[in-house]
Structure 1
Amino acid sequence: MSRSLVLCRLGTLAVCAMIWFGLFPFLQRWFFFFLRFFSLTNYRPIDGLLRWAISWREDHGSREETEVEEGHREEEELDGEVCRNYRPIEGPSRLAIPWREDHGSREVTEVEESHREEEELDGEVYPVNPSDDLHCDYDSTWETDQSPERSVKRTRTTRTTRRTSLSGYRHFSTFQRAARDMQNYRNDYPGQLCIQSSNDKPNLDFYLGKRPCVPDDVYINDFHNKWKGDYDKLEFVHTFIQWLFPLREPGMNSWASTLTKEEIQEFLASSIAMENLLKSYKLMLDFYGIKLCDEKTGKVEKASNWEDRFNNLNSHTHNSLRITRILKCLGTLGYRHYQCPLVQFFLNETLVYGHLPNVKHSVLNYFLFAVLNKRQRRKLLKFAYLNYNPNDEFVWCPLSVQKVWSEQARQTGF
């Protein structure tokens, strides 16, 4: 074969490759452009067909949390990050910065009363040294209550290489990536550009029943009345979760809007919005095989159909991303005292009873660190450490803290 013929064929292949890799993204962008165009016009039949083709894709749960691993686009496979209190909170004076980390100034719930001794212990200062092998740069749990969250990661040296080379610490790097996202949420998204006030408040209007969510075109009351118990819809439709549990961070549904501070304040001042958010929480708890036993304390327990729903939760891991979003939303929109009971429930189910093995590390990396109250986080971490097996592979708190807890357990005969 002549050299000119070989060069000609190679050139043809190169041109075909450039056309393919350039044309496919172009067609994909225009496809979503036309999809959005149809949703904003009266072409409902075409719009419905296109949304069905996209939204009803089955998720086989093959991914772990990618929300943080891909920049907290992690938690969202269109589910809104796998996925950053009581009702209703009264008085505008309590609404100024409701999503900031709670350092212990809240009212005491029944759950906290039953663990008063642990609360007092978890309120003390722990001797955590940055040179600790399991010290996480993005976790403020062990700092004093007056210490602000850190938003800048310090430079690491050989300690990182040594830690990640040890088999017992193999989960630490994943935890540290997740911790950056969760601290960003707990610290009210430092550095985030403030969206200017607008008369358009899509999340609030949706919760007041004034507009449907997009692109599903469903009103809030229809979710509560028609979607409850329709587990196929709740599983395979991926565009509603950002509307039911809005956050101050964007999700993968481009039709959903992030919360503004003005919107949050008006939301918390509205008894209708707060009541509807509680119904949305119950809707998703039922989907996961859980029921809310006490609206005042947030206590939850397994529902009668828990085995079937747990199987679904364990096999479709994008639901872990949804639960992370739900926990963040509870902390942002006035139900922060619901966070601890729900996380405690998942710790019991995963670490004590051995259910939901595919959810266990989501609970430890994300759910637990969504809890805004620092003392409650410490209590939950202590429970997790004492029930984690094997104990020497626990990476979610510094070694110095683990030694304190181990000594206390030895003395009490735990």
Structure 2
Amino acid sequence: MSRRRQFLLGAALCLLLGLLALYLLGRLEPYQQTIEHGPAPEARVNPYLAAEHFLRRQGLQVQRADGLQLLPELPSAGQTLLLLGDRQHMSPRQAERLLDWAAKGGHLLFVAERLWDEKAGASGDLLLDRLGIQQYQSDALDAEDSSTEDAASDPAAEPLDEANRYPQLTQLYLENEHAPAYIGFDTGFHLYDAQNRAHAWANGGEATHMLQLYHGDGLVTVLSDAWIWRNDRIARYDNAWLLWYLSQDSAVTLLYRAERDDLLSLLLRHFPQALVALALLLALALWHVGMRQGPLQLPASLARRQLREHLRGSADFLLRRDGQHSLLQGLQQDIQRRARQRHPGFERLGVAEQWQVLARLSRLPSRAISQAMRPPPQQRLTAADFTRQVAHLQLLRNTL
């Protein structure tokens, strides 16, 4: 194929590709698509991250705390402490310190955690019991008594049309305001001021979900729940406005946990896979250390030795441990014991008389008796002398 023909063929191919591209571009239509990736990792870890950003946007100074360790260094005046964490393990001393901090001019806000127990006369919530506030379930309330009590205690009872506009929401009325603020509290709980100390409250239907009372030189605000300020709910209704209203003109400290988790709890929460791997590694290490090395050793045969070998081994052991003097003295004492059995009063006789009695009982000559019963020498005997002495003693003992 000539070059001219190749050039024409390539140009035609490029022209066809260009026309195809123009056709496809004319058929394309641009569009927009939003892909939801869910909350950011910071929002998943911190359920009140949106509340922090909201307060900072209002010009308030906000800090976050994980425990009550900062309380001694936290000033009371001009400070709002939002205690939003679990207080299940709070000690009585910590509860007293919190209330003392509020009495010096601070604003303490916390969530009621336990229901009032009529039989025990307490709820077990240290802060609620000390302030005389009781929490009940809303479905256990008597509707008529609750309505009468709320109307008598609320000097600015809301108009009927406003109350019926959003019956599922909690209404908070302020002075010089014709319409209430609507907050999305959980309607399943009710707060009751048993000591009649509250000067402000927020009602939803027949239940009260917020109480505010003076405590010393400070304020204490009790909520039935703090879910209204979580990341997924703070933008609803007037939830964010209530957070600003309660913390306005003050620095804010958000306390998520009243006590710290121990090391094991933190490891189980954040590194469960690492703990499982560590447990498997430890099990493998123990298995390796405890694994048998080499072949099994067969049990020794019970009949591999004769009685004579056992007796000889026992004698060698006693000789090494107690010495010759102890063995010879033991044989002599055995001979004296047998003589006392055959001749009463043998132990009261003199040495010479004892030897005569032994000679008469054994029918051995006096020379053999004296060689056998003479006191063992202090110095070590030779093997031949020791064997000869033992032989004389055994002969005398066997004849008794």
TM-score normalised to the size of structure 1? Answer: 0.23
TM-score normalised to the size of structure 2? Answer: 0.24
Q: Relative contact order (alpha carbons < 8 A, sep ≥ 6): 1 or 2 greater?
A: 1
